[in-house]
Structure 1
Amino acid sequence: MKIETEVQLANMTTFKIGGKASYFALVKNIDELKEVILFAKEKSIPWAVLGGGSNILVSDDGFAGLVIKIEIKGLGFREEGSVVKIAVGAGENWDDLVAMCISRNLYGLENLSGIPGTVGATPVQNIGAYGVEVKDVIESVEVLNTESLETEIILQAKCNFEYRDSIFKKSEGKKYIITRVNFILSQKGIVHIDYKDIKNYFEIKKIAPTLSEVREAVLEIRKGKFPDLKVFGTAGSFFKNPIIKNTEYQSLLLKYPQMPSYKIDENFVKIPLAWVLDNVCNVKGVKNGNVGQYEKQALVLVNFGGASAAEVKKHAEEIVLCVKEKTGIVIELEVQYL
């Protein structure tokens, strides 16, 4: 295994932005991962993990430390009654896994079709789309503890999954590097088509969808909302949908009576931020230099070509400020800064 120096990171991310890593290593197994962590410790430099680079914005100055690109592969299927357990290397492509599971008629991942990135990143972010979150099909996550250099298995209940969040994003989980994710999928399931966009899609088609048809629908819907990564630089949805108290929401309805929401429980609701950006801040399709909001989805920030990380951050700060000034809601980033 080779540890490279002064490696450009921009083309390893979907944003196509960023400077160089002082050190860079591509790891294909746990032994190599241990080796590069020891290297970082010996040099007293920080390290950062890179998967598919689809949810990250790299600084224009790059990263003054070691960037570890995870390419640990491997797939294992095991039937247990009506379910199939799947052990998947963190470096496997996420959407390839989804397609493979659907081809085997396994239920659970179909609504998560088309999300870019690697398998190892999915529990970190607790990725979700169209009414489904990956936490619902994860049995456990295998990690390397970078403090002890021992491998551990973290059960689903210990991953502290929340909306776009997990233990792996919190301080206590920063010592872990995900090496494998273990899923449980059903051989006899039902498709989840209650989410508005999917429901409308099949009401127009007037069919009872199969697994593959749900995947096709999700891919088509995403194509209409998200830019082509071959054309534009982007990390998809840049912000989280805010979750606020129901009492706050009722107050906002007095000013914005059309503001939609999704009930979380008796006390909290989730606000679709795209509606706020489109109808309150009026930024859908707005371009600010080389950066802007995608014309078909206000949640998506786009690098139209030649944008810097500083430009993206400045534009994002303006969005955050607008939402706070007009609604009182403090929104959080979904994209991670490196």
Structure 2
Amino acid sequence: MGFKIAVAGATGNVGREMLNILEERGFPADEVVPLASRRSVGTEVSYGDRTLKVKALDTYDFSDTDLCLMSAGGSISKEFAPKIGAQGCVVIDNSSAWRYDQDVPLIVPEVNPDAVEGFSRKNIIANPNCSTAQLVVALKPLHDKARIKRVVVSTYQSVSGAGKEGMDELFEQTRAVFVADPISNRKFTKRIAFNCIPHIDVFMEDGYTKEEWKMVAETKKMLDPKIKLTATCVRVPVFIGHSEAVNLEFEQPISAEEARDILREAPGCLVVDKHEDGGYVTPYESAGEDATYISRIREDPTVENGLAMWVVSDNLRKGAALNTVQIAELLVARGLITPRKQAA
């Protein structure tokens, strides 16, 4: 007997992607229930070749549901995740609401799978920020080899990281440029079409943004609290796929060739690094793919034991929906959850 799965936030970009990935990867689900707010009740979403009708999250009974994959926003998660967990259903949450709670494991399966066993304290598991997820997949095997001391990362983040509204705004503004219509900003603080905005999430007192702070805090929690990291996060006019220019300083010597060999064998990583025109991956090529792509691996002669590289991934997949499903698969593979109907 398979599992009963609920997907909360099923009408959003990430929720729809979760449904696609559950079906693509053949997750052992006997029943999948899409959930959203009351105004979305009755909306149809796709699950493989089936069409499912959305039910209301706030009235749904989770007492016979095994897993809830949640991508409904931080405030909704704060309100509902503890209630769902109290009914014995394990929540895997894609928002930032629980990432920094010491009783909630923050998981990327290729990086810290053993930490997942701490989920039973609250029946909640957190998914990291999209920009952090792809970064730590690339950092983990290199850290294991030579111990990373410091990371300097600049991100080039697609508008899908801001949801459907962000994608719509890029499309509408791009069209307006070509037909000479007025351009208005609703989702972003400045025009995004043919532009870059060095501002994601709110500003903090030290001048960094919350997105940049997230990368620091999450990398320390999942990988190593001793790692020093500084980030500059930039929104760019790309629909899907986050890119990162990453500069690394290690405790031990490591060559570019050693790094390539290590990353070629690392789970979740795909190295495309030819020193020729087109011998690298761009965000456009990462869209719809599961891998974290790594290119432009080279030694940095300005610091001792330094490397630089380019990291690209589909933020809706590895940065959100895919990682969530991989966490669910990890729970099943380790026997940490069993179908409740079967157990009954």
TM superposition score normalised by structure 1: 0.25
More strand by share: 1
TM superposition score normalised by structure 2: 0.25
Q: Which has the higher contact order (CA 8 A, sep 6+)?
A: 2
